[in-house]
Amino acid sequence: MTLSITHARTEPQDDQDDVDWLSVWPVSTRPAPHGDLTVAGVALTEIAERFGTPAYVLDEGEVRRRCQEYRRAFPDADVLYAAKAFLCRAMASWVEEECLGLDVCSAGELELAVIAGFPPERIVLHGNAKSPQDLAAALRLGVGRIVVDSAGEIARLAANVPAGARQQVMVRVVPGLAAGSHAALRTGTEDQKFGLSITDGSAQHAVARILEQPRLELVGLHCHLGSQITTVKPYLLAVRRMVGLMARIRDQHGVTLPQLDLGGGHAVAYRPGEDAPDIAALGARIRAELAASCLTASLPEPRLAIEPGRAIVGPAGVALYRVLAVKHTGRHTFVAVDGGMSDNPRPALYGVRYAPRLIGRPATTTTLTATVVGRHCEAGDVIAADVQLPGDTRPGDLIAVPVAGAYHLSMASGYNLVGRPPVVAVLDGRARLLVRRESLADIRNRDVGL
């Protein structure tokens, strides 16, 4: 990573971001001697020494705390963890033990969860283009619900349900609402790849076709508005539109659907001062709107489902990097680290901004405005632009990046063949390896030769 200098200040790092810098770190984070930090009682420098860098640190207690927060906020709902944010066998086990369901998008995610002992009946399968292997695995393993995302999927799915069985399905509906922090994250609008539109009648047509299939049981509607949504208003509008569609289905087909899935997309703060919804307040407002909308439509309240992913695991993660080089070029200073877009493509994809912090030694009295960059052969390989770091940042220093639990390892690539980082869980003063580092041997063994 690189620092870009625009100006220097004579303030220590701990003073310039003073009281709220810890707001985006796991709750268990504590300052430690010599500029170190501990998470769940484990020093981050110790993790870097034991497991190397780059590395992801995942606070198990923080994951569980956030699962419990959702269960309290949505006490009568199905809370489904969105596995695409991050999945490993330990994560599936934690989620299952906290009584959440699971939302998966592929046969790979599904089979890993089932191998870890996750009950398949508490799993929902998503995907705008499910492969034959995805559908076969879902039916073979007995997933609870499959979300239909296109009209062509209906016949393919029905043809593969065993004779005498019925598969519960939902229809993913496009409610025509724009929500989310970036155009690439908005999935509730018209003319994008997900779901079936209310406006052009595609959703209603899919409902009618499913009701004609004796091997499919339509149990509800699903929508997902996008990601990094900071306010409750889009969810309230989605409730009204979805309940309105459920009322029309009742009137046209005589069917009262018992379930409504509102997806996820709840924002988290990546930097101090950024907005994120209060989950308790979000739950109260959504549940109140659902009750009011159903009363107006003379419908019984369907069982609600939600699918948080990032909001559960994102703030529980910390990425650790080692500084490899510091380069001054004109008005900028670049601090290059030993990871980058192969372990976190999100800044390049969505322009997300982080709050990295130097750890492992006391901060100096001078800070720089800097850009932390990765080691990869792309000009867009930037981890954090225009951030404050100590003026004497140098090779060998450790940089820690909070809110690194979601969409880092799950979106990691093999670019430049550097290998994907390990995941280390921390709890009660102990660290243990969950996912080992991808080695050169792993990369070599996949290549079968000439």
The catalytic residue positions are 377
Consecutive H or E run containing 152? helix 151-160
Burial class (CB in 10 A: 0-12, 13-18, 19+), 34: exposed
Which of 128, 124, 156 shows the shortest CA–CA distance to 138? 124
Structure token digits, residue 396:
């060998």
Amino acid identity, residue 211?
L
344, 379 in Cβ contact below 8 A?
Answer: no
* Dihedral angle of Cα 17, 22, 23, 26, to the nearest 10 degrees: 160
Burial 431-440, CB ≥16 within 10 A → b, else e: beeebebbee
Consecutive H or E run containing 220? strand 216-222
Amino acid identity, residue 422?
P
E strands, 47-95, in order: 55-59, 78-82
Other beta carbons within 10 angstroms of residue 182's beta carbon come to: 14
Q: Are strands 398-402 and 423-427 parallel, antiparallel or unpaired?
A: unpaired
Structure token digits, residue 286:
């959504």
Instruction: For the sheet with 37-39, list strands across it.
Output: 30-31, 37-39, 42-43
DSSP state of 391: T
CA-to-CA distance for 165 and 167, rounded, in angstroms?
7
Residue recorded with tokens 């034991």: 50
Residue 8, classed as helix, strand or coil, is strand
Which of 254, 294, 212, 258 shows the shortest CA–CA distance to 78? 258
320, 53 in Cβ contact below 8 A?
Answer: yes
CA-to-CA distance for 197 and 269, rounded, in angstroms?
31
287, 74 in Cβ contact below 8 A?
Answer: yes
- Compute and round to an integer the Cα radius of gyration of the chain: 23
